[in-house]
């Protein structure tokens, strides 16, 4: 692409205003522009836009989250998104809660039940599911109205399913997630901001952001419980500021508004899976993000 002229939004508009836009001429949109990284072509009085080489919008920072009312709204992810089974995997998630209580963070559904569902309590997180019991994970502090990062990963199957849980970049628990080595097939919808199935009254009151799923375990620098993680986990936590996850190859990456203009009811999946989430019962977008 070295022969393609790089332009920003202003320059693109000026080409038309000044009569300099030529049919069939290609331009590369500069970083920070609308459709950054895309190829635009002027064609008979209008612009046509083609996806960039990565087939996903360039990283332009984190500017939106989804605000949940704690009553009945949530984000729903379609069936078939998550391939748990006997595989290794990881989930990365940013959240804040308005008041102390018992709330569902997310629920990964399989075969009419729930395989993985982290529950937030007053001072810790505990992961439950069908045969799953992993916790409690208690950080040194867990204040309300503060952004927190939770990363859960499965990394092995010796004597059951082994897992690690990290809160705000620190390894909190390393142990057995489940006695079974097969966590099932994802043939049920999943939810962010609530628990599924028979649980009611535990919807999260607060904000959710940058929910991501990886079909492999992540490096952490070989740290022990109580230590600050290194490796991939440190890069994803990024000292408390969400960063571009592209280099970690997420299968699912729901940015909670950043690639949807903070409007509508669809959360576009920026991972390789292309499984868009839907906002249910009226969650709103917010400019309150981890920083």
- For residue 126, what pLDDT band results from cuts at 50, 70 and 90? very high
Query: Within 10 A of 22 (CB to CB), how many other CB atoms are there?
Result: 8
Look at residue 5 and tell me whether its pLDDT is greater than 90: no
Rounded Cα gap, residues 287 and 96, in angstroms? 13
Q: Which residues contact 97 (CB under 8 A, 6 or more apart)?
A: 103, 120, 144, 145, 204, 205, 206
* Mean pLDDT within 228-247: 97
Residue 46's pLDDT is what?
75
CB 130 within 8 A of CB 108: no
Q: What percent of the chain has pLDDT over 70?
A: 89
- pTM for this entry: 0.81
Rounded Cα gap, residues 51 and 262, in angstroms? 20
What are the Cα distances from residue 41, in Å, to 12, 45, 57, 212?
A: 10, 10, 17, 33
Domain positions in the chain: 5-50, 65-286
- For residue 197, what pLDDT band results from cuts at 50, 70 and 90? low
The two structure tokens encoding residue 93: 């998630």
Mean pLDDT of the chain: 89
Rounded Cα gap, residues 110 and 245, in angstroms? 26
Residue 31's pLDDT is what?
55
Q: What percent of the chain has pLDDT over 90?
A: 69
CATH classification of 65-286 is 1.10.490.10, yes or no? Answer: no
Q: Which residues contact 75 (CB under 8 A, 6 or more apart)?
A: 66, 191, 192, 193, 208, 211, 254, 256, 267, 277, 278, 279, 280, 283
Residue 2's pLDDT is what?
41
For 264-288, write each residue's pLDDT tens digit: 999 999 999 999 999 999 999 999 9
32 compared with 118, residue with greater pLDDT:
118
For 40-83, write each residue's pLDDT tens digit: 888 777 777 765 444 455 678 999 999 999 999 999 999 999 98
- Cα of first residue to Cα of last residue in the chain, in angstroms, is 34
- CATH assignment, 5-50: 3.40.1620
Residue 58's pLDDT is what?
63
* Mean pLDDT within 148-166: 96
Task: Say yes or no: do domains 5-50 and 65-286 share a fold.
Answer: no
* Mean pLDDT within 200-221: 94
């Amino acid at each position: 692409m070295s022969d393609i002229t790089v332009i920003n939004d202003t320059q693109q508009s000026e080409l038309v205003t000044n009569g300099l836009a030529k049919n069939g001429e290609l331009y590369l949109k500069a970083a920070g522009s609308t459709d950054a990284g895309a190829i635009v072509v002027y064609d008979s009085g209008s612009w046509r836009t083609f996806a960039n080489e990565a087939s996903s919008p360039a990283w332009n920072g984190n500017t939106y989250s989804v605000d949940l009312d704690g009553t009945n709204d949530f984000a729903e992810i379609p069936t078939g998104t998550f391939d748990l089974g006997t595989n290794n995997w990881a989930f990365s998630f940013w959240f804040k809660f308005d008041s102390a209580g018992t709330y569902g963070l997310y629920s990964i559904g399989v075969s009419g039940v729930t395989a993985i569902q982290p529950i937030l309590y007053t001072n810790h997180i505990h992961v439950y599911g069908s045969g799953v019991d992993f916790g409690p994970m208690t950080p040194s502090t867990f204040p309300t109205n503060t952004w927190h990062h939770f990363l859960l990963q499965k990394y092995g199957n010796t004597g059951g399913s082994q897992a690690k849980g990290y809160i705000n970049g620190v390894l909190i628990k390393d142990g057995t997630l489940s006695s079974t080595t097969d966590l099932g097939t994802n043939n049920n919808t999943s939810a962010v901001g609530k628990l599924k199935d028979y649980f009611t009254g535990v919807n999260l009151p607060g904000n959710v952001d940058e929910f991501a799923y990886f079909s492999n375990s992540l490096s952490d620098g070989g740290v022990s419980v109580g230590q600050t993680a290194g490796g991939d986990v440190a890069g994803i936590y990024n000292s408390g500021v969400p960063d571009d996850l592209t280099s970690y190859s997420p299968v699912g990456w729901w940015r909670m508004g950043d690639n949807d203009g903070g409007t509508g009811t669809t959360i576009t999946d920026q991972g390789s899976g292309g499984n868009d989430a839907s906002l249910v019962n009226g969650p709103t977008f917010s400019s309150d993000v981890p920083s």
